[in-house]
Structure 1
Amino acid sequence: MTAELLLLPGVTQDALVWQWMDLPPARAWVYPGHGDRGRAQDGLTLEGVADEIWSVVPTQVDVVGVAFGGVIAQYLALRHPESVRSMVLACTTAASEDGQRMRSNAEEMRTRGMGPYIEPAIGRWFRRSARERVPDAVAHIENTMQEFSADAYADVIAAMSEHDTRSRLSRIDRPVTLVKGEQDRVGEGAIDALHAELPHSRMFSIPGAHMVHVDNPGGFSAVIRDHLAWVDNGAPLGKKLG
């Protein structure tokens, strides 16, 4: 079976967030608490989201994960390697730095609501020029955040507080393209750290901030298409690439 392209977005984002990209047919995943989905009844965990995806996807997928989506992609590859043919990981990390602070932030968000967090997040996620270059895309993100449940966002933050795959990355024996947004100030150095640990990875830097798939949809689309061609042509394993 030909691998299906699976798109895993950042937090708060729905299936429509990919509409500004030029991609082959793909399955856009929606996490619990996102889009029209209710929150996870038993609590959201990174492992649980990966297992849910595994229960639904076909035999193999080429996974594109941005930010939180890149984290979920790692768990999918580690827990269900037979389902992953390759990965594109962008603006993501192998570990959260301060779990206690993140848990405190999650509880604060449940109390205060989404309002105080929207503009600061937009400032971190996009370059200042994004409102001129991709105004509809930025407006879409703002709208989804305004309608998003603070409890659902806090669920993600709490789950992320436990994230650490660093000791297991060497087990991922799949070709991986890593994408660094040149203006990404969230988790600086994280993509380089992934590149150092993933045995079959290559790395690209492209203009863009943290949500590079929305900030630079054309550039990120080109990287994904290049990645798929690389994999289809037998991306060599067993050596560091790029």
Structure 2
Amino acid sequence: MPFVALPSHRLHYRIDGQHGPWLMFCNSLGTDLHMWDAQASALSGQFRVLRYDRRGHGASGTPPAPYTLTDLGADAIALMDALSIEQTHYCGLSIGGLVAQWLALHHPRRITRVVACATASKIGTGQGWQTRMADVRAHGLQGMREATAERWFGERFRAGNAGQVDAVLDQFVATSVEGYVGCCAALAEADLRVAISRNTVPLLAVSGDDDPVCPPSDLAAIAAAASGMHVSLPGRHLLNIESADALNDVLRRFLQ
């Protein structure tokens, strides 16, 4: 497995495709780069698709918590630098969508187009994330499995795609507690609601029409503030899995 060594940890990454512009994907909280398998398969003929496990997730290293949104954004830039990538499209979901917004604001010359999926400019509340961190420290992630399935996937999708759903949830409960809590700390502090109005990068916000975590109104607000576009697709929080074909078509149209 390929890794990039950073001062406090290493990042695991994967590249699919050999031609076209770069397209980076950033995963959601409690998942790894395989959440983007459908996108990599569909788009690697037109793009050089770069996926990576955010710190504390998947096969990447886990530096001590807490983390900040700046830490997560800096990891993405460090990976680009290590691979000599000057510019890329960037697509992130949930916390990955916050990283996408941060990159567009802080490194607009490096990001050609940005896609923010199932996210917000501020996700949840500081107190809510503090409570989540305490619960996970005390009890781990296994007890959250059922509730996570309901937040991430609609009932019909769960019933018809049990194997796929179980694979995602297996990765969720296998996530490092330290990495999960570290990213919760970043979410507790992250707030781009004012800053996003300064965005200059072409932006697409994509919502799941039944997402209980980041509803369509959150994505519409990002698009309005950032002078971008908003599209809503069927599904809940992990819309890239539940509406994979539809999202792939949206990405092709926006990025080309």
TM-score, length-scaled by structure 1: 0.88
Counterpart position of 1:209: 236
SS at match of 2:109: helix
140, 143, 156: which one pairs with 1:113? 140
Change (3 A) 1:82 1:2: farther
Residue 12 and residue 42 in structure 1: after superposition, are their counterparts in 2 closer, same or farther (change >3 A)? Answer: closer
CA deviation after TM superposition for structure 1 residue 92, in Å: 0.4
1:197 equivalent to 2:217? Answer no
Kept in 2: contact 1:7–1:64 (CA 8 A): yes
Which sections of structure 1, spanning at least 5 residues, go unmatched?
A: 230-242
Tell me, in whole angstroms, the C-alpha distance in 2 between the residues paired with 1:137 and 1:55: 32
Letter matched to residue 191 of structure 1: L
Aligned to 1:102: 129
User: 2:61 aligns to what?
Assistant: 38
Q: Which residue, out of 138, 147, 150, partners 2:174?
A: 147
Preserved contact between residue 46 and residue 159 of structure 1 (Cα < 8 Å): yes
Q: Which residue of 2 aligns with 1:13?
A: 31
**Would the alpha carbon gap of residues 104 and 146 (structure 1) be closer, same or farther in structure 2, given more than 3 Å must change?**
closer
Structure-2 residue corresponding to 1:47 = 70
* Percent sequence identity over aligned pairs: 25
> Which of 204, 210, 232 in structure 2 is aligned with 1:183?
210
Q: What SS does the aligned partner of 1:62 have?
A: strand
Tell me how far 1:116 sits from its aligned partner. 1.3
Instruction: Report the CA distance between 1:56 and its aligned residue.
Output: 2.2
For residue 132 of structure 1, report the CA deviation from its aligned partner: 4.2
Cα RMSD after superposing both structures: 1.8
Assess if the C-alpha contact under 8 Å between 2:207 and 2:219 holds in 1.
Answer: yes
User: How many residues are aligned here?
Assistant: 228
Going from structure 1 to structure 2, the CA distance change for 1:101 and 1:194 (only over 3 Å counts) comes to: same
Decide which moves more: 21-30 or 217-226. 21-30
Compute the displacement of 1:136 (Å).
Answer: 3.5
Offset of residue 73 of structure 1 = 0.7
Question: Residues 20 and 137 of structure 1 are in contact (CA less than 8 Å); yes or no, is this contact kept in structure 2?
Answer: no
**How many Å separate the matches in 2 of 1:217 and 1:224?**
10
1:121-160 equivalences under 5 Å are: 121-160=148-187
- 1:15 aligned partner, one-letter code: L
Q: SS of 2:240's equivalent?
A: helix
Deviations 1:186-241 (A, max 9, x none): 13221111122012x11111111111111111111111111112xxxxxxxxxxxx
| 1:148 positional shift | 1.6
Please state whether the residue corresponding to 1:71 is helix, strand or coil. helix
Question: 1:133 Cα shift?
Answer: 4.1
| 8 A contact 2:31–2:175 mirrored in 1 | no
Contact 1:3-1:85 within 8 A present in 2 as well: no
**Partners of 1:213 and 1:220 within 8 A in 2:** yes
Q: CA deviation at 1:2?
A: 6.2
**Is the CA contact 2:207–2:233 (under 8 Å) kept in the aligned structure 1?**
yes
Aligned AA (2:223): H
Contact 2:55 2:62 in 1 (8 A): yes
Residue in 2 that maps onto 1:167: 194
Paired amino acid for 1:196: A
CA offsets 1:39-80 (integer angstroms, 9 cap, x no match): 124642210110121122111110111111101111111221
Q: Which amino acid aligns with 1:82?
A: R
**C-alpha displacement at 1:146, in angstroms?**
2.4
Helix, strand or coil at the partner of 1:32? coil
